[in-house]
Amino acid sequence: MLKTVSGRQNDRGQSMASPAVPVCHFATKKAKAKGKGQIQTRVNLNAALVEDIISLEEVDEEMKSVMEVLKDNFNKTINIRTSPGSLDHITVVTADGKLALNQIGQISMKSPQLILVNMASFPECTAAAVEAIRESGMNLNPEVEGALIRVPIPRVTREHREMLVKLAKQNTNKAKDSLRKVRTNAMNKLKKSKDKVSEDTIRLIEKQISQMADDTVAELDRHLAVKTKELLG
């Protein structure tokens, strides 16, 4: 939470006018020790000082990015009904680097039970595309006919639903790994400033970063719970 203060006191307790500066509010140990429902004591940190050490807004954006990647993955690849759009962003390793399947193949729906991927424009990438589809984690078993890849759509069985839930959990765990990296990088950056500011200030910022990470983990788990319910029906 950011607020501003418009004045400060000198060493003798006299009031001095000063420009408004942003202030970050953090709970103290005493505040956390109090019972629920009680007013918490808070300490003020000059936001400008915090920004000189680390940008919490950037850390927050990185954590949000982890969440958005998971949500995008859930929406595009982990669905009961496989659609042509589900295959669009499967990554294919080619001689020119990693490319999305829809950049090198024409994807279409032949029937409710079959998706076709026409690789006529890049026939040399057919084998790599088949491997990418098979390894996508979508329980797909592509078949090749020349430059045409046939992708039968799995039947919606209980086993298929449970497989998708397992995949959703795996992707959530990967997201948590990415989140831990963001947190660790932020903490390491913070440690480099220990000779510039007080230990209390460092500890308070560490607590803030940890709380941001904990909140994001809770959000990841919430999305997994919603997706699991959707998949199991």
Q: In the CATH scheme, what is the code of domain 47-79+157-232?
A: 1.10.132.20
68, 63, 72: which is closest to 215 by C-alpha? Answer: 63
Q: In the CATH scheme, what is the code of domain 84-152?
A: 3.30.1360.40
Instruction: Return d(Cα 197, Cα 97) in angstroms, integer.
Output: 45
DSSP state of 47: H
29, 50, 51: which is closest to 40 by C-alpha? Answer: 29
Instruction: Return d(Cα 100, Cα 87) in angstroms, integer.
Output: 9
8 A C-beta contact, residue 121 and residue 137: no
Residue 10 has pLDDT above 60, yes or no: no
pLDDT of residue 47: 60
160, 120, 121: which is closest to 144 by C-alpha? Answer: 120
Portions of the chain given CATH number 1.10.132.20: 47-79+157-232
Residue 184 has pLDDT above 90, yes or no: yes
Portions of the chain given CATH number 3.30.1360.40: 84-152
Residue 19 has pLDDT above 70, yes or no: no
CA angle 106, 112, 117 (to 5 degrees): 15
pLDDT of residue 49: 63
Residue 158 has pLDDT above 70, yes or no: yes
pLDDT of residue 196: 77
Q: Which two three-digit tokens encode residue 95?
A: 């001689």
More confident residue, 93 or 191: 93
pLDDT of residue 48: 60
More confident residue, 190 or 122: 122
Q: pTM of this prediction? A: 0.62
Mean pLDDT of the chain: 80
Beta bridge partners of 114: 111, 152
- State the pLDDT confidence band at 46, using cuts at 50, 70 and 90: low
Q: How does DSSP assign 121-165, residue by residue?
A: TSGGGHHHHHHHHHTSSS----EEETTEEEEEPPP--HHHHHHHH
More confident residue, 165 or 18: 165
